[in-house]
Chains A and B, each alone.
Chain A
């Protein structure tokens, strides 16, 4: 490119070094909404992690089926009790744990599949890429929710593990497109050509040069992906085909109070609130990460 590079004496030995990652994080944390979101999300994650220690009761315990049924929120039970006489607060706390776990695990599955598929298609190019992309188009045309409903209705009584896998298998399409696009662009970057000129093998180029430069879109997709899975899982559990009872997930809790939505208002409000907070903070962080990443490039 003709013209001069617009930079100045940046390499001052006195300045601390800064990896591109550190730069992005620093830029991310500059926004107030990002900081707040991070704190709120952190609290929710902590709640989930420490569930066994902070939940006042066992989430499946039914100590007094008669007296503790359908109680409105009180000091003893801040979130009330459900139709099965279980403490809702404890169930919401354990629900955080489960919902987040499912979200993270399913997203890991999606990430692995999406990155692998996209990277291979992008790097191979040619007819391999063309075929893979047309297949992908077919996959993308099926709405995720309907697909999940279809599968889960056909296989009722699934374990959580299987649920995670299905959620993961249906969530990688968009990411693989993004990854493929990035890989296509990176393939022709001069530093990749330089690596080839040094004698780097294709494997080395993929792992050391392409993948690390995909981190940013992957992190963004992961953050938003977790949020999406949480919402999906809640929806599926609400429909009765998600997390099996008596395990506590946010969707399940809402489901339990579904036939008496108006009277048992605490059954929808509290899990719903937590869900909204979690999804919102994840989205805020995901968008902020995307901004931080886009501004750098």
Chain B
């Protein structure tokens, strides 16, 4: 077993706001191997984006990566690196693709220059060399007429094209890891298909690992080999993609899968997870999902579940691992009983 490329241990990123301490990421651990595509799936407020930003130390005050968190990459701990060292990693060894391409691009510079800048900063290339490589990269991402397009400004390009520019920028230095934070959410479905295809293709060609962050289970199924499900700042389930879809263990994962309409499955009513995500300044004690869970019982309130092993590399943060018969006796979740079920 080769050592993982990136290893996150007990990451805690907390935000010190006027309404309290928001524990956006509260003890997350996982590894990414070389050449792998790992997905993090979860809804808004689960902490997946903050996790991504933490990896690159892009968290601004009032947020802070708490001491005790470790992010090991290429033999160093990212959390304790100096400013210059972390700048050396960003865009070079680990790069990021954001959801909104328009806000990630500078509107007053040509896109070619922006892509070229990456090489000039990290590899010290000359202007001409960097430009040449930038055009190459843009062509590689499938932008037709790359030489001409490189001279255009962001507002002259469509959403899909801008995203390709971002991908080109991210891959310029052939990084070991690319973090893609909802890269296709803002795009139309046919463009999304193109971009996902491109990412998979480029990954094969260049050999980078990808950390794919999304709320879309379909994207997860199509692009990743391993999946992490996040809820309320924690990892609640972690398995290979086939295993996760075939045998979802955590009630949240189950609920999520059943609440999505699937083309071809005729359902009168969609299954619903009642209630809402609790507030990050106020995570409930015990299991954070218990109020919305159809199987919870007293243990779930008393004890915060650890990640139980439920089969091979499959782990799940749910006490059902020790009392599996309870799965046969679902009950209306507590939020329904209290009457605050509407999200």
Residues of A at the B interface (CB closer than 8 Å) are: 2-13, 30
Would you list 10 pairs from A and B whose C-beta atoms are within 8 A, ordered by A residue? A3-B99, A4-B43, A5-B44, A6-B44, A6-B45, A8-B280, A9-B278, A10-B279, A12-B340, A13-B340
Complex Cα gap A197–B276 (Å): 30
Q: Does B275 contact A (CB under 8 A)?
A: yes
User: Do B277 and A8 touch (CB < 8 A)?
Assistant: yes
Cα(A141)–Cα(B279), bound, Å: 52
Taking the closest CB of chain A, its distance from the CB of B273, in whole angstroms, is 13
Nearest chain B CB to A127 CB, angstrom units: 29
B152: Cβ under 8 A from any A Cβ: no
Interface of B is mostly: loop
In Å, the complex CA distance between A201 and B186 comes to 36
Contact present for A9 and B277 (CB under 8 Å) = yes
A9 to B45, CA, bound (A): 11
**What is the CB-to-nearest-CB distance from A224 to chain B, in angstroms, rounded to a whole number?**
26
Q: A2 to chain B: which residues have CB within 8 Å?
A: 185-186
B residues contacting the other copy or chain, number (CB 8 A) = 16
Does B215 lie at the interface of the complex (its beta carbon under 8 Å from any beta carbon of A)? yes
CA distance A4 to B41 in the complex (A): 14
Nearest chain A CB to B182's CB is how many angstroms away?
A: 7
**For chain B residues 174-196, which have a beta carbon within 8 Å of chain A?**
182, 185-186
B186, A3: Cβ atoms under 8 Å? Answer: yes
B280 adjacent to A4 (CB under 8 Å):
no
- CA gap between A10 and B340 in the complex, in Å: 11
Q: Sorted from nearest, which 6 A-B pairs have the closest CB atoms?
A: A4-B44, A9-B276, A8-B279, A2-B186, A6-B44, A2-B185
Q: Provide the residues of chain A in CB contact with B185, threshold 8 Å.
A: 2-3
Binary contact track B20-54/A, C-beta < 8 Å → 1, others 0:
00000000000000000000000111000000000
Nearest CB in chain A to that of B186: its residue: A2
- Decide if A9 touches B275 in the complex (CB within 8 Å): yes
| Contact pick for A3, options B182, B276, B279, B280, CB 8 Å | B182
Give complex CA distance A9, B275 in Å: 8
A4 engages B278 (CB within 8 Å): no
User: Whose C-beta in chain A lies nearest to the C-beta of B49?
Assistant: A6
Do residues B278 and A8 form an inter-chain contact, with CB atoms below 8 A?
yes
